[in-house]
Copies of this chain bind each other. A is one copy, B any other.
């Protein structure tokens, strides 16, 4: 039985990855690690032998103990402090939780002479502020991180390469673009918009939404497409390679808001809150998914409209007071 070790297990990406495994595998073992327990039932997947262990990957000894005991075939390293805004407020904490934890993980693998296939999840934020002429971003585009979070992500990717070349570890790196989908926490912009609009819809106002800069352009990709890409990379990806995981299409935040409001039949006033504006932000990020498409025949299956509909549905079913 193949064994998957998943860090950042209690986040929404892991949950979707489990859903995907549940659909495509007949029998697998999964060990989830996180600093907080998952808020979903572990026994809901009949074909997954699923367990959870509370673990802070900053704890070197315990991390090594767990990895050495479980001997995973695959490691999906999702654990991260993935908020750019948080990284500006707590650069050191964000940085350590995005690099030291990865280093502890791969050191545990190396020290115990294990040979799992590892996916090191990176971010489109690594590209930083780019000229319009550099769009769409390919894996060859220069990296120019403009936030502490992005620096950590580039560092993690560099470490992946160092351990792949220096010690022969089987690591694949991704630059995953903005994930969206059900179960995503509302500290992320699209979930936050959806939750607030649902609340306005259901509670009847106030019809004002405080936002950051709505003109920035992002490449949104449904989390269910992202986890399918991770699975395919485990099975068919090329060791030591870096892959963009993106839709290839750019959308402004105001476009997303408009789509949501149209679906909810709402009209809401948008008000810029300077608290949401970051010291330095990327104006436009759109990726090319040509490489992953050519190498493992992946392309997104969820349309932006479908994603938005499912996100709104999720918040409608899970609305809690703001």
Contacts and interface: CB of A to CB of B under 8 A. Distances in A.
A130 to B, nearest CB: 14
Interface stretch (A2-10, A40-48, A95-103, A224-232): A95-103
Given A151-B162, A166-B147, A167-B279, A92 B88 contact: no
Contacts of A154: 154-155, 158
Contacts of A158: 145, 151, 154-155
A22 interface: no
Q: Give the contact-size bracket for chain A.
A: 20 to 34
Nearest to A142: B142
B159 A146 contact: no
Interface of A: 60, 88, 91-92, 95-96, 99-100, 103-104, 107, 142, 144-148, 150-151, 154-155, 158-159, 161-162, 165-167, 278-280
A107 B91 CA distance: 8
A121 to B, nearest CB: 17
A155 B166 contact: no
A95 B103 contact: yes
Contacts of A150: 162
Given A92-B107, A146-B166, 19 more contacts: A60-B92, A91-B103, A92-B100, A92-B104, A142-B142, A144-B161, A145-B158, A146-B161, A146-B165, A147-B166, A148-B159, A150-B162, A151-B159, A154-B154, A154-B155, A154-B158, A155-B158, A162-B280, A167-B279
A150 B155 CA distance: 10
11 contacts: A60-B92, A95-B103, A99-B99, A146-B165, A147-B166, A148-B159, A151-B155, A151-B159, A154-B154, A166-B278, A166-B280
Contacts of A92: 60, 100, 103-104, 107
Contacts of A165: 146, 280
A278 B96 CA distance: 26
A158 to B, nearest CB: 4
Contacts of A280: 162, 165-166
Nearest to A91: B103
Number of copies: 2
A43 to B, nearest CB: 36
A104 B142 CA distance: 27
A159 B280 CA distance: 13
B95 A166 contact: no
Contacts of A91: 103, 107
Contacts of A162: 145-148, 150-151, 280
A25 to B, nearest CB: 34
A91 B279 CA distance: 31
Contacts of A104: 92
A147 B165 CA distance: 10
A205 to B, nearest CB: 36
A60 B90 CA distance: 12
Nearest to A100: B92
